[in-house]
Each structure stands twice: as structure tokens, then as C-alpha cells.
Structure 1
Amino acid sequence: MAEKLTCGVHHVGLTVPDLDQAHAFFCDVLGFDVVGGRPDYPAIFVSDGTILLTLWRAADPITARAFDRRANIGLHHLSLAVPDDAALDEAWEKISAHPEVVVDMAPEAMRSGSSMRHFLVFIPGGIRLEFATTKIKA
């Protein structure tokens, strides 16, 4: 077996149409912290202490085309982990109540017979996020 050349995800970069809107969602709704940025790019770096996200503003948000997960090559969705069912339910209540969030899939088992649960939404700006429990119920 070949030796692995990588050891996990360093960060994920997401292009957004509105940097202020993305900042508000990740920091005010999800509780991420701003850990850096490049105003000239423009981009901000946000983190929940485990994952680092680079949020880049599209050069021309008016003409930028939204990603079509069924037609384009690229990021289908980003899945963020929550520790357990209580955290998933709390995230669902807060996120699904956000006026600019579009629900793609309400909380459900990840697959038949699984105790792990998840939900998917399109956040402000149209990026598809999944929230999934990391622990299997005993």
C-alpha cells in the first residue's frame, strides 16, 4: 500500500456573491470566528476551531452563475459535523429559521437503519451545506 501524501483537509475555499452576507451567516448564525482576511482580494477566513473556510467574493456577483450541482464539476456540498442529535436539532432550528436559507432536506437518518442524522440547506448566496451528526447513538 502506498504511503499517504496528505493528512486531511487544510481549508475549503468558497466563492460567494456577497461577502458581508456570508460573514453574517457563518459568524452570527453558526458562531464561526474571523481568523484573517485579504481585503484586496476580497476574502475573509473563518473558523469554528476545527475547519477553516476561505470565503471569496465573486469578481462580478451580478454576472456570476450559481453552481449547479447536477450539471457542473466541483463542490457538490460541504458537510459540517455536529457532535450529536441535540446539536443537530439546535442547528436545524436556528438555520432553518434564517430568512435567506432554503431547505433542501429536513433532518433525517443518513441512510436506512442508521442512527446518524443530517439535513441539507442552501445558505445565503446559494451554497449547499449539510449538517451531520458524528456520533452513532448507542
Structure 2
Amino acid sequence: MVMAPLTAGVHHVGLTVPDLSAATAFFLDVLGFSKVGADDTYPAVFLTDNTSMITLWQAAAGAAAHDRRSAAGLHHLALRVAGGDAALDGLEATLRAAAGVEVVFGAQELKGFGVRHMMVTAAGVRIEFIAA
């Protein structure tokens, strides 16, 4: 017997970042997210793209970067890009021109899934973008 899922999608993803200001600026200014809240005592910023929410937390000074081979936890955040291949190609051009963004790999086929994707690192966060 197959059990029905007990959950209904992701409400939000929380990311600890090395530079809260830089990460916030990336999501707001480059990706067009909106700020929906903040907690300066935490410190944290709450953002949305009107579909998903992201919480960004400031890491302690000197915190080690995540290494997928030696640490458990989130390796990357994957975001859908509405508008298919053309939108993904446009986003790639935007990201290549954005300061502080490292393109890990450009838009290419996601083998076995019939879509294209790309990966960047920006403000200490590894982000995959998938054409939808």
C-alpha cells in the first residue's frame, strides 16, 4: 500500500550565510525577491519570490563553508525559473553580469529530466536554477 504524503510542499528554506547584507542584496537586487520581514536581534531576513520563502541568517564570524562531502545539511537551493529555456538563458546572462556571482556551470541539460539547469554561488549560497 502506498501512503499518501503527510506534507504539502516546502513552506520556506532557512539558509545561514556568511554575509547577511550581501546575501539579502543578491536575492532582492539580482533575483527580484521581496523582503517580508526581518529580526535584527537574530539577525535574520525573510524574503519571498511570491511562491517560496527564504530565511537568511547571519553566520558567526569564521564559520566554515558547507562541504557536501564532509558535512551533513543543505548542499544547495534549487529554484524554478518560469518561462523555460529562454528565461533560463536570460537569467544566466544576468547572473554572469552580477558582481560577486560565480557561475559553477552554465545552462545545460539536466540528464534524465528533460529540462535545463545551471548552478551558481552567490553571497556564500550555492543555487541551482531549473527551467520550468
Fold-level similarity (TM above 0.5): yes
Query: What band does the TM-score fall into relative to the shorter chain?
Result: over 0.9
Q: Which amino acid aligns with 1:6?
A: T
Deviations 1:10-55 (A, max 9, x none): 1000001111101110000000000111111000100000010000
- Percent identity, please: 48
| Residue in structure 1 matched with residue 65 of structure 2 by the alignment | 66
**What is the correspondence of 1:1-138 to structure 2 with a 5 Å cutoff?**
1-58=2-59, 60-61=60-61, 63-83=62-82, 84-111=84-111, 115-125=114-124, 127-134=125-132
Letter of the structure 1 residue corresponding to residue 73 of structure 2? G
Question: Which segments of 5 or more consecutive residues in structure 2 lack a partner in the other structure?
Answer: none
Give the total of aligned pairs.
130
Q: Write the distance in 1 (CA, Å) between the matches of 2:107 and 2:3.
A: 38
Provide the C-alpha distance between the structure 2 equivalents of 1:45 and 1:35, rounded to a whole number of angstroms.
6
Contact 2:88/2:129, CA 8 A, preserved across alignment = yes
Q: What TM-score results when the alignment is normalised by the length of structure 1?
A: 0.88
One-letter amino acid matched to 1:92: E
Which one has the bigger strand percentage? 2
Gaps of 5+ in 1: none
Q: Alpha-carbon deviation of 1:4?
A: 2.2
Where do 4+ consecutive residues of structure 1 move more than 3 Å?
none
In 1, distance between residues paired with 2:99 and 2:39? 28
